[in-house]
Amino acid sequence: MLDPNQFDKSKFTNQPFALKDTTKPWGWEIIFTKPEDPYTGKIIHLNAGKRFSLQVHDKKQETQMLVNGEANLIIDNENGELVTIKMEPMKGYILLVGQRHRVQAITDCDIYEVSTPETGTTYRLDDDYKRPDQTEKLREEERKTL
C-alpha cells in the first residue's frame, strides 16, 4: 500500500503556470508546463491556411492531437517518404525523433501537443516564414521576451 507520508510535501505546489507565446506567424501556442519539467505540454492554435515548418527534431519526441477544426499532418512513413494524412479529431499522432513532420491547417484548428522536454535543435527544412533552425539557446532567448 502507498504511504502518502513518504513524499517530500515541501515540493508540492498548487500554483498555476502558463507561458503564452504570441510570436508564432501561424497562430499562437500556450505552454502549460515549466521549462524544468521532465515533459512539455502545449495548446497550439493554427490559423486557416497556415502551416508549421517542415521540421525534424534531434532529441524531442512529440504526440499531437487535433482537438477541433481540420488539419493535415505531413509526415515520414516507414519508407522515409512524406505522406499527407488528414488528422482525425481526438486521436494521437506520434512523431519520433528524426521523423520529418509538418501540420497544415485547413480551417482554424487547435492541437494539443505533449512531448519530451524541449531540448536539442528543431531543424526547419522548409519554412514559409524564413525562420532559422530553433536551437536551445534561441528557444530560451525567445521565451525571455514574453
The CA distance from 47 to 105, in Å, is 7
Q: What was the pLDDT predicted at 140? A: 81
Closest Cα to residue 55, out of 110, 117, 116, 135?
135
Mean pLDDT over the full length of the chain: 93
pLDDT digits (tens, 9 = 90+) for 54-112: 999 999 999 999 999 999 999 999 999 999 999 999 999 999 999 999 999 999 999 99
Given a contact cutoff of 8 angstroms between Cβ atoms, the answer to whether 4 and 12 are in contact is no
Given a contact cutoff of 8 angstroms between Cβ atoms, the answer to whether 119 and 39 are in contact is no
The CA distance from 129 to 53, in Å, is 8
* 146: confidence class by pLDDT, cuts 50, 70, 90: low
What CATH number does the domain located at 17-144 have?
2.60.120.10
Q: What was the pLDDT predicted at 23? A: 75
